[in-house]
């Protein structure tokens, strides 16, 4: 019987780490409502309007005059406080960020409820509820900062205490993280998108133990960029909790990155973009000029668009003020030039004098075009000097749906899919890394009572990566299947 009594407690302890991996991205507004003499006002009506979506959130003050609304998505709000026997107070333009905890107190003047007073004086929106140190990067800031490659690593690096350890090199993807925060290891950070884990890097498929294979690194593209987490156009804002944050985050000792995706509004809005780079606008690389090589191809097209608004079907459904969608697509087609350099391959005489069985293998190397270190009687190596270009691509798709059932209950669903690939070359060997990430997230948020709210998240996350190699005809090489040439089936 004693074992049966302790079993539920043991089960709760075992489940606690699993349940703690989703954190709310919503903001909280709380405060006290008093009359002109300073006495608290109970059962005062609190109405909070999202100015972009028209969604209302409601609450009341409790027996001590305190109100708390905890289910507010990031955005700009208008707050209205009313009580019979007092004038109605309205405060517009309250901006809430992801995971904000804002205290706003109100003093209601005596008068008729039909009379309203608009409060324009700015109130301090400083977090006074805990001692956490964090930085918020909001959508307006994102839209006005030029980003190389449209990846928001540069925005994260602007946070105090962050040192960049950029993984944007094919050889290091999956081997290390992006940032070291306050001296912690670069794989000690934790990433969340819409409140669920995003530490799902696929590594490089190399088969060696890597942080990317253990859930210690965030999802990233094959180029090491952040589109696998979110495209910049689908990002509403994010918060970096760098120190003294709540114990609810205790999965890793580094920074906690919380990203929120954009939602639609009552107005249909869309964007189209295409960023172009081309070698026709550039001079030749210095090394190409030095070795007498022509300019290498550079092609970069970063294109896409967004569309958001209310879910509206003529004569069937009008989703204004309650149902919204937001979709985004970003595509990258990149051909990156590599400048000419000296490499070494078998010279012609070495290929001719080799045994017949080895000649196809030596002919799989490019043909030399520079200094030959051998002669007509001494097989040796010779120089190869040649420039080339390497292709890469990314496709990032995101779709989010939001619906408000009541002023105290709302839900959302989001789908994201980001395949990517990049190539590297050594002589006539081409290595290709492919990566893809997929996420499906469902969320429900409820203000269950004056003292309790609930967040439910259900998500499916996957990340895949592979690395393959093949030989081509670069520099006059004759490609072959090496195992077959050696008699291996």
Reported as a single tens digit per residue, the pLDDT across 306-342 is 999 999 888 888 888 889 999 999 999 999 998 888 9
Mean pLDDT of the chain: 82
DSSP H or E segment with residue 483: helix 482-485
Neighbours of 396 (CB within 10 A): 28
Q: What percent of the chain has pLDDT over 90?
A: 20
The token duo for 94 is 């309250």
Closest CA to 231 of 311, 168, 139: 139
pLDDT of residue 208: 60
User: For the stretch 121-158, what's the b/e string if a residue is b when 16 or more beta carbons lie within 10 angstroms of its beta carbon?
Assistant: eeeebebeeeebbbbbbbbeebeeeeeebbbbbebbee
DSSP states of 49-96: EETTT--EEEEE--TTSEEEEEEEPSEEEEEEEE-TTBPEEEEEEEEE
Superfamily of domain 23-118: Carboxypeptidase-like, regulatory domain (2.60.40.1120)
- How many alpha carbons lie under 13 Å from residue 84 in its C-beta half-sphere? 1
Residue 466 has pLDDT above 90, yes or no: no
Class of domain 133-261: mainly beta
Cβ–Cβ under 8 Å, residues 350 and 372:
no
pLDDT of residue 57: 86
> What CA–CA distance (Å, rounded) separates 364 from 346?
10
> What CA–CA distance (Å, rounded) separates 482 from 361?
7
pLDDT of residue 113: 73
* pLDDT class of 395 with cuts at 50, 70, 90: very high
Residue 5 has pLDDT above 60, yes or no: no
- Residues 6 or more apart in contact with residue 197 via CB below 8 angstroms: 21, 22, 190, 191, 215, 459, 461
Residue 169 has pLDDT above 60, yes or no: no
352 burial level (CB within 10 Å; 0-12, 13-18, 19+):
exposed
The token duo for 18 is 């699993």
Phi-psi sector, 289: left (phi>0), alpha (psi -120 to 50), beta: alpha
Task: Give the start-to-end residue ranges of the domains of the chain.
Answer: 23-118, 133-261, 286-340+386-485, 342-385
pLDDT of residue 123: 52
Q: Which position has the token pair 């439910």?
A: 456
Neighbours of 318 (CB within 10 A): 13
Digit-coded pLDDT (tens) for 362-389: 999 999 988 888 777 778 899 999 889 9
Pairing of strands 106-107, 27-34: parallel
């Amino acid at each position: 019987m004693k074992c049966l009594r302790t079993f539920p407690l043991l089960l709760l302890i075992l489940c606690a780490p699993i349940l703690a991996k989703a954190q709310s991205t919503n903001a909280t507004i709380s405060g006290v409502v008093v009359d002109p003499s300073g006495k608290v006002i109970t059962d005062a009506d609190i109405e909070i309007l999202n100015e972009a979506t028209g969604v209302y959130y409601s609450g009341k003050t409790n027996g001590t005059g305190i109100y708390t609304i905890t289910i507010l998505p990031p955005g700009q709000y208008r707050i209205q406080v009313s009580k019979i026997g007092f004038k109605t107070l309205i405060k517009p333009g309250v901006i809430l960020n992801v995971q904000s905890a804002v205290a706003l107190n109100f003093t209601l003047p005596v008068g008729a409820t039909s009379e309203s007073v608009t409060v324009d004086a700015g109130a301090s929106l400083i977090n006074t509820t805990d001692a956490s140190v964090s930085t918020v990067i909001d959508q307006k800031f994102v839209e006005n900062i030029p980003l190389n490659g449209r990846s928001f690593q540069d925005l994260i690096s602007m946070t105090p205490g962050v040192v960049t350890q950029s993984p944007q090199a094919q050889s290091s993807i999956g081997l290390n993280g992006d940032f070291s925060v306050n001296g912690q290891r670069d794989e000690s950070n934790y990433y969340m998108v819409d409140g669920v884990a995003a530490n799902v890097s696929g590594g490089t498929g190399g088969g060696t133990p890597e942080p990317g294979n253990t859930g210690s690194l965030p999802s990233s593209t094959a180029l090491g960029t952040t589109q696998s987490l979110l495209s910049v156009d689908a990002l509403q804002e994010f918060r970096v909790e760098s120190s003294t944050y709540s114990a609810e985050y205790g999965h890793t000792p580094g920074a906690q990155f919380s990203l929120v995706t954009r939602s639609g509004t009552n107005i249909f809005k869309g964007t189209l973009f295409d960023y172009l780079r081309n070698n026709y606008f550039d001079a030749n690389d210095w090394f190409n000029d030095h070795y007498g090589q022509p300019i290498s191809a550079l092609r970069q097209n970063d294109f896409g668009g967004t569309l958001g608004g209310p879910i509206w079907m003529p004569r069937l459904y009008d989703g204004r003020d309650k149902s919204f969608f937001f979709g985004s697509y970003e595509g990258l087609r990149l051909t990156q030039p590599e400048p000419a350099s000296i490499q070494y391959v078998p010279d012609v005489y070495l290929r001719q004098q080799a045994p017949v069985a080895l000649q196809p293998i030596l002919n799989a190397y490019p043909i030399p075009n520079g200094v030959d270190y051998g002669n007509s009687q001494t097989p040796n190596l010779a120089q190869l000097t040649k420039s080339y270009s390497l292709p890469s691509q990314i496709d990032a798709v995101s779709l989010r749906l939001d619906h408000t059932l009541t002023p105290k209950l709302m839900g959302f669903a989001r789908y994201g899919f980001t395949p990517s690939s990049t190539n590297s070359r050594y002589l006539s060997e081409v290595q290709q890394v492919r990566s893809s990430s997929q996420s499906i997230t469902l969320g429900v948020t409820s203000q269950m009572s004056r003292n309790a709210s609930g967040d439910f998240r259900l998500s499916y996350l996957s990340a895949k990566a592979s690395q393959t190699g093949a030989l081509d005809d670069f520099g006059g090489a004759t490609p072959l299947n090496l195992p077959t040439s050696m008699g291996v089936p």
